[in-house]
Amino acid sequence: MEAGAPPPLEPSPLPTFAEEGFGEKFLRKTRENPLVPLGCLCTVGVLTYGLISFRKGNTRRSQLMMRARVLAQGFTFAALLGGMVATAIKSR
């Protein structure tokens, strides 16, 4: 067997990244997966409307909105998982 060059004694330096604030990170993540913030907004909107209906005594509308909230949360969770899978596939 032929001997190649010996492995380097010093490990390769790790890449450095610029400091990223909350706003920059939020915008970057929103651009990467825009469905998650949209799902969160829908969930909060439906929840708020359901609570207002509950407060007014409209129990039928309140129950309908709570079911819609569960659907909106499911959409948000699916968007989150889809974004994670897409990021994992893209990083390969």
Q: Where are the domains of the chain?
A: 33-91
Tell me what pLDDT residue 59 has.
94
> Can you say how many angstroms the Cα of residue 11 is from the centroid of all Cα atoms in its chain?
34
Side-chain half-sphere exposure of 20, counting CA atoms within 13 A: 9
Low-confidence ranges of the chain (pLDDT < 70): 1-2
Q: Which residues have C-beta within 8 Å of that of residue 26, sequence separation ≥ 6?
A: none
Provide the whole-model pTM: 0.72
CB-CB neighbours of 64 under 10 Å: 15
The CA-atom distances, in angstroms, between 32 and each of 20, 77, 84, 85 are 16, 15, 10, 12
Cα distance between residue 81 and residue 73, in whole Å: 12
CB-CB neighbours of 59 under 10 Å: 10
